[in-house]
Amino acid sequence: MDEFEDSDRLSRRNVQQMTASPQSNRYRHSTNVPVATATPIRGSYFGGATAVMSSAGVPAGRSVVADAVASTQQAPIQHTIQRALGDRSYDKRKNAALEIESLVRNLTTENNVDSSSPSPMANSEKNRVVLGIINQLSKEFCTSMNSHFRKGGLIGIAAVGIGLMYDAHHYLDFLLPPVLLCFDDPESRVRYYACESLYNIVKVTRTHILKYFNQLFDGLCKLFADVDMNVKNGANLLDRLIKDIVTESRSFNVEQFIPLLQNYIRRTNPFIRQLLVGWITVLDSCPDINMVDWLPEFLDGLFNMLSDSNKEIRQAADSALSEFLREVKQSSVVEFGPIVMILVQQCHSKERLNRLTAITWLSELIHLGGDLLLPFHADILGAIMICISDAEVEIRSVAERTNDDKLAVVRDTSERFDISPLLDCLTGELMSKDVATKISALRWVNMLLEKRPKEMNAFISDLLPVLLKTLSDDSDAVVLLNLQVLSRISLHEVEFKLVLSSILSLFSSERQLLEVRGSLIVRKLCVLLNAKVVYIEFANVLSRSSAFSLEFIGTMVQILNLVLLTAAELQELRNLLKQSFSVQASPHDREVFIALFRCWCHNPVATFSFCLLAQAYEVAFALIKMFDSEIDITVGFLMQIDKLVQLLESPVFIHLRLQLALGVDEPHHTALLKSLYGLLMLLPQSDAYKSLNDRLMTVCNLKEHVGIEDSTHETNHGDLLDTQDLLKRFSEVRQLHNSLRKPIK
């Protein structure tokens, strides 16, 4: 593309010569001596057209205008020039163009001297000649079927523009259409000539060309997408020239350009993308143009360039986006809505760089926008959740920080906002397979329950089934956080009963969950809520509800009892039960024992161990005596007794072991000893049998050595509780279980 560089240099020299004094004007001619012909730069008309004079002088005593007018009686361009302009020889076409340039320049020079009119268009004679030349070049050459004619026409139009110089902008309406039309020419060489022709016209008219910027840009896009490398290179030079003009101008109409930019920014052609991102960057660098105001119109297109296969385009788009983000952070007025929706969409992109850049933008906008982003919080939250589950560590890290920031903004705001879209989003995310996403969603639900409890009550019926299903998640972290949410819902009495009843229903339908997570869920609920209230409600629901099978109730009681005996979280409840029958105990404390006992009757071993824990040894001994008649001794029953014997050796029953050894003179000792001997007799020969037998033999030896006789005085719990009523309840429950047991045929 040396030809364009020569044209730049020589056009600048021609402008300087045209601005010189009339006396030094190099276009003045002698009456008798022809002007010497300079040698043009080989390879392009434009390299020499602005630097050489016509090879023929002007006859003395006759004006150039008069000659031109006389010649246009037939045609604006003489037939010899026409033939040369359409010749296949480049040199002949070049010389013909020089003749046209000389003619137009001389017309302009003489009219500038003779006419006082500020506009050359006011001179009808000159205007008719120039327009006639342009019209002939356009119709007879630029649209000709012969490619050499089209090349000659383009050279001729450029020659007219160069000849007109400072007056050329008045004729742009006529000069540009034929040149732009040739951008679609099937021959690459013609398209190249069209590019050169436009370059020279733009070089002469400078800022006046901005009126036609959209047409020029449309042409540039065609040239940049051209398959011919020479055309691409020429387009690059033309592009740089127009950029220089735009940056120097203060009258560029961005609003008029944006629709065209929107149209082309959807294209995937890498060369067009390169052109677009270059122009966006240039316009953004102009001090009089604020591209941030128009950012939503092309932001999505810039993001799409991040996934381009061309590394340079990706880098250019990334650099432009970084600069725009910096400007947005510094801007006092930002239209958040459209920008946020674009970023949300990009967070769902399949391309890593798109997602990373989009979530980074969202992170910054959350700090910048604050409460202004509340109308879009559901969309932003959905995008954040998508990125939290991303496979890329960097994206997940940014998304988690963004989530924390967004949660803090919503939590701390005093502005009103609609929670329904947020809950719709969160409910969907709770069904995700990603652990981090579920945890983040649960944190949001917990925050909303804390911030807007009354409004959240309206959504409990929709939210609770999803939360219950999340209890089956494989992650303990998800389950524990889910229980926190359920506990917060349960702070009100109605919701408390609903949640616990729903959990029992879930256990009934999903036995594997009960086996794997039942103990964990019960313990956590006791920590987050009140263990006594939780156990009483569980007992009441199991005792009164007809929706559960007796087999499930027995299994549930077994799990509740095991948690009660072993979990450190229930130490306070155990202490309360141990003091249920002391003189200091309140009636309410004994009611706790009665309420749990009535439910525990569905599992005999659990009932017996429960009585041992509460030191109700008389009741325990009465139960042992009923085991023979009321209970069907099965392998499962014996296994439960075996586990109970092991628990008797645990710290939970240390009070029982001490009473067994040191309380031999206490009234309740006989009932305790008989209860344990009865338990021993139920056991087959096993390690549990040997362990309990050794314990009891030690007590018997102690009594013999000390000489203490068995006490015949029984502990009287009659004033404290109705033992017979408890035993009657146990008998009724056992009969109910026995009646439903199918006989073996």
Q: What's the CATH code of the domain at 73?
A: 1.25.10.10
- 53: pLDDT confidence band, cut at 50, 70 and 90? very low
Q: Which residue has the higher pLDDT, 222 or 41?
A: 222
Does residue 568 register a pLDDT over 70? yes
Q: Is residue 66 part of a domain?
A: yes
Whether residue 347 lies inside any domain: the answer is no
CA distance 449 to 488: 7
pLDDT of 47 reads 39
Of the candidate ranges 15-24, 338-347, 572-581, the one whose mean pLDDT is the lowest: 15-24
In the structure, what pLDDT confidence band is assigned to residue 279 with cuts at 50, 70 and 90? Answer: very high
Among 2-6, 62-66, 399-403, which stretch is predicted with the lowest mean pLDDT?
A: 62-66
User: Vertex 432, ends 431 and 435: CA angle to 5°?
Assistant: 120
| Spatial CB neighbours of 681, under 8 Å, sequence gap ≥ 6 | none
The whole-angstrom distance between residue 303's C-alpha and the CA centroid of its chain comes to 13
What pLDDT score was predicted for residue 719? 52
What pLDDT, on the 0 to 100 scale, is given for residue 111?
A: 60
Structure tokens at 146: 């012969």
> Using alpha carbons only, what angle is made at residue 598 by residues 739 and 732, rounded to the nearest 5 degrees?
25
pLDDT tens-digit series, residues 303-357: 999 999 999 999 999 999 999 999 999 988 888 999 999 999 999 999 999 999 9
pLDDT tier, 233 (very low <50, low <70, confident <90, very high otherwise): very high
Residue carrying structure tokens 């013909």: 96
pLDDT value, residue 187: 94
Residues of the domain holding 636 = 530-740
Give the CA distances from residue 630 to residues 425, 597, 624, 724, 731, in Å, rounded to whole numbers and listed in that order: 54, 17, 10, 15, 7
Own/partner long-range contacts of 323-327 (Cβ < 8 Å, ≥24 apart): 323/281, 323/284, 324/284, 324/291, 324/292, 324/295, 324/299, 325/360, 325/361, 325/364, 327/284, 327/291, 327/292
Task: Provide the terminal-to-terminal Cα distance of the chain, rounded to the nearest Å.
Answer: 103
Greater model confidence, 181 or 637: 181
**Is the predicted pLDDT of residue 31 greater than 50, yes or no?**
no
Contact predicate 607/598, CB 8 Å: no
Distance CA 377, CA 355 (A): 18
- Asked if the model's pLDDT at residue 595 lies above 60, the reply is yes
CA 268 – CA 274 distance, rounded (Å): 10
Contact 276, 265 (CB under 8 A): yes
Residue with tokens 């141990």: 578
Give Cβ neighbours of residue 90 (< 8 Å, ≥ 6 apart).
45
606 band by pLDDT with thresholds 50, 70 and 90? very high
550 with 740: CB under 8 angstroms? yes
Average pLDDT of the chain, as a whole number: 84
8 A C-beta contact, residue 574 and residue 652: yes
Q: Considering only 12-26, 536-550, 661-675, which range has the smallest mean pLDDT?
A: 12-26
Alpha-carbon distance of 148 to 443, in angstroms, equals: 75
**Least confident span in 102-116, 251-265, 329-343:** 102-116
Query: Is the model's pLDDT at 123 over the cut of 70?
Result: no
Position 393 in a domain? no
User: How far are the Cα atoms of 114, 214, 737 from residue 25, in angstroms, in the given order?
Assistant: 16, 37, 123
646 close to 688: Cβ distance less than 8 angstroms: yes
Identify whether 468 is part of a domain: no
Nearest CA to 111 out of 163, 161, 162, 75 is that of 163
Q: Is the pLDDT of residue 460 over 60?
A: yes
Boundary-marking domain end, from 217, 250, 283: 250
Is pTM, for the whole model, over 0.85? Answer: no
Q: How far apart are CA 342 and CA 164, in angstroms?
A: 48
User: Is 6 within 8 Å of 159 (Cβ atoms)?
Assistant: no
Residue 3 lies in a domain: yes
Q: What is the DSSP string of 42-86?
A: TT-HHHHHTT---SS-PPTT--HHHHHHHHTTT-SS-HHHHHHHT
Residue 156 has pLDDT above 70, yes or no: yes
Helices marked H in 206-269 = 213-224, 229-248, 254-264
- Final residue before a domain boundary, out of 197, 227, 250: 250
**Does 17 score more than 70 pLDDT?**
no
pLDDT at 691: 87
* CA nearest to 215, candidates 170, 162, 161, 177: 177
Query: Computed from CA positions of residues 56, 60, 62, 65, in that sequence, does the dihedral angle turn out positive or negative?
Result: positive
- At 20 the pLDDT is 36
Distance from C-alpha of 549 to C-alpha of 30, rounded to nearest angstrom? 123
* Contact between residue 429 and residue 385 where contact means Cβ atoms under 8 Å apart: yes
Residue whose structure tokens are 């947020």 = 422
User: Would the pLDDT of 58 be above 90?
Assistant: no
C-alpha 71: how far from chain center:
71
What's residue 514's pLDDT? Answer: 94
Instruction: Tell me the C-alpha to C-alpha distance, in Å, between residue 20 and each of 26, 369, 695.
Output: 9, 58, 125
Does the pLDDT value for residue 369 go beyond 60? yes
Mean pLDDT of 433-457: 94
What string of H, E and C letters represents the secondary structure of 537-601? Answer: HHHHHHHHCCCCCHHHHHHHHHHHHHHHHHCHHHHHHHHHHHCCCCCCCCHHHHHHHHHHHHHHC
Question: What pLDDT sits at residue 635?
Answer: 86
Beta-strand runs (E) in 453-544 = none
Q: Give the lowest-confidence range in 11-20, 455-464, 507-516, 630-639.
A: 11-20
Give the pLDDT band (50/70/90) at residue 43: very low
Rounded Cα–Cα distance for residues 140 and 149 (Å): 8
The alpha helices in 309-392, defined as continuous H runs, are 311-330, 336-346, 352-369, 377-388
Nearest CA among 211, 205, 287 for reference residue 253? 211
Segment 496-500 mean pLDDT: 94
**Residue 391 CA: distances (Å) to CA of 363, 395, 434:** 19, 8, 10
Residue 486 resides in a domain: no
- How far apart, in whole angstroms, are the C-alpha atoms of residue 225 and residue 220? 8
pLDDT at 332: 85
The verdict on residue 269 lying in a domain is no
Please tell me the distance from the alpha carbon of residue 735 to that of residue 386, in angstroms, as a whole number.
56
Task: Please say if the pLDDT value at position 174 is more than 90.
Answer: yes
pLDDT band at 534 (very low <50, low <70, confident <90, very high): very high
SS3 for 619? helix
pLDDT band (50, 70, 90) for residue 120: low
Q: How many domains does the chain have?
A: 2
Question: Residue 501 above 80 pLDDT?
Answer: yes
3-state helix, strand, coil in the chain (%, to 5): 75, 0, 25
Provide the pLDDT for residue 398.
97
In terms of Cβ atoms closer than 10 Å to its own Cβ (0-12, 13-18, 19+), residue 204 is buried
Q: Per-residue pLDDT averaged across 10-31, rounded?
A: 34
The span from the CA of 311 to the CA of 355, in Å, is: 17
Compute the average pLDDT of residues 260-275: 93
- Domain's final residue, options 191, 220, 250: 250
Question: How high is the pLDDT of residue 4?
Answer: 52
Q: How high is the pLDDT of residue 706?
A: 56
Weakest mean pLDDT among 4-18, 193-207, 559-573, 625-639? 4-18
Q: How confident is the model at residue 536 (pLDDT cuts 50, 70, 90)?
A: very high
Q: Are 417 and 372 a contacting pair, CB within 8 Å?
A: no
Q: Is residue 384 part of a domain?
A: no
pLDDT tens digits along 688-744: 888 888 888 887 766 554 555 555 445 545 456 678 889 999 999 988 888 876 554
